[in-house]
Structure 1
Amino acid sequence: MATKVDEEAGIKEEKVPLLKAQEFPDIERNTLIHKVIGQTFKTTAHLANLLPTGTVLAYQVLSPIFTNGGRCDLASRFMTEMLVFICGFSCFILSFTDSYKDLNGNVCYGFATTNGFWIIDGKADLPRESSKSYRLRFIDFAHAIMSFLVFGAVVLFDQNVVNCFFPNPSAEVSELVTSLPVAVGVFCSLMFATFPTKRHGIGFPLSAKC
């Protein structure tokens, strides 16, 4: 028969937690890493709104097909390289586009040039003085580069592409692929917030001024 002392000792043992956090530091560290990665996904999703909608949509649709679900051979890797290059170049070049709403309410798109605004479809007749306000500026190049970097961050978050180019990554490569998009996201978020773009080109939302 168990004594009263043995029963009290058993109760105390039941109250002692089976797992102590200090005995498993990796659990807390992994949880923190998962939180950081999850927050980075949200940040990148918001940053993706600054990219041309059609370009991002085309990339998201074609990426799983071209990469064969991350199991690339020589042909699929070449097609994936071309997809990333074309979409990245599209994000860069479309940053120089803008829109103009004529007197009839029709929205016309064109490219900003050093002399003014070149309307692509040629239907609208933009006054010379108004055209000068659309001239190419240094900030346009900064936005184009940042858009390219943001698209690169989106690509690095695509596991299909990462598995295609780095099927057996080392610890250093895995850390770089995880950390680099975070750094790009933070940097571009600060830059876009400090120097917002006033252009509303192809694939970008229009504002009331257009």
Structure 2
Amino acid sequence: MGNLVKFLPTGTVFIFNFLNPVLTDNGNCKTPLNKQSAAIFIVLCGFTCCFSCFTDSYKDRDGKTHYGIATFKGLWPSPSSFESNLANLSSYKLRLSDFVHAFFSSMVFAVLVLLEPNTVKCFYPSLSTNSKALICLIALPPIALVVSLAFMWFPNKRHGIGHPSIEHYSNKTNLLLPQTS
């Protein structure tokens, strides 16, 4: 379940679900400003979903976690990471799987946006309830299948911003199993 969170940034989804009713005036979009601000907000959230697929983290020799952006040459660290940059950041180069994850994360977010009632009511007010149900019935299963297969064929090895690396968990004691010495 922890790896599922990496596919779509939960912070972005939370912010979208929190602010979308405000920006769309609960789907009414009485003014053009409502539609424009909602559209800009959707694009920014989509960009965040895509961008988060290109972030990663590493630990320095002191065990401190640093975050950066994956590039073709390696990881471009945050400014605070420059003074303690002792890790080999060239091993964090961009891979095909990063672009696959970015595309499909954006697709999942787009589906989430298109199924959100306030967004549909704002941008497509004449869409009937039957049309909405038909879209859900026809669009969701194939998209879910394709996205699931893509994420399975291209596993995500990045530990983006807010997702601790595996070393964080390997040093902890499992409280459910008896300790052996």
For Structure 1 versus Structure 2, the TM-score category normalised by the shorter chain is 0.7 to 0.9
Task: State TM-score, norm by structure 2.
Answer: 0.79
Question: Where do 5+ consecutive residues of structure 1 fail to align?
Answer: 1-45
Q: Secondary structure of the residue that 1:197 maps to in structure 2?
A: coil
Per the alignment, residue 6 of structure 1 pairs with: none
Q: Secondary structure of the residue that 1:155 maps to in structure 2?
A: helix
| Deviation digits for residues 164-207 of structure 1 (CA, Å, limit 9, x no counterpart) | 1111115885333553233322211121122210001124x223
1:69 is the counterpart of 2:26? yes
Per the alignment, residue 155 of structure 1 pairs with: 113
1:186 is the counterpart of 2:145? yes
1:131 is the counterpart of 2:89? yes
Conserved in 1, the CA contact under 8 Å of 2:57 and 2:165?
no
Q: Which amino acid aligns with 1:180?
A: A
Task: State TM-score, norm by structure 1.
Answer: 0.69
Conserved in 1, the CA contact under 8 Å of 2:100 and 2:150?
no
1:165 is the counterpart of 2:123? yes
1:81 is the counterpart of 2:39? yes
Per the alignment, residue 72 of structure 2 pairs with: 114
Cα deviation for residue 100 of structure 1 reads: 0.8
Conserved in 2, the CA contact under 8 Å of 1:156 and 1:181?
no
| Deviation digits for residues 129-169 of structure 1 (CA, Å, limit 9, x no counterpart) | x2121001111111100110011111122111111111111
Worse-superposed segment, 181-190 or 89-98: 181-190
The percentage of counterpart residues that share the same residue type is: 38
| Deviation digits for residues 78-112 of structure 1 (CA, Å, limit 9, x no counterpart) | 11101110000111112111001112222111011
Figure out how many residues of one structure are paired with residues of the other and give that number.
162
Per the alignment, residue 3 of structure 1 pairs with: none
Q: Which runs of 4+ in 1 moved over 6 A?
A: none
Q: Go from structure 1 to structure 2 and tell me whether the alpha carbon gap of 1:143 and 1:206 turns closer, same or farther (over 3 Å shift).
A: same
Higher helix share: 1
1:202 is the counterpart of 2:165? no
RMSD: 2.3
Q: Secondary structure of the residue that 1:81 maps to in structure 2?
A: helix
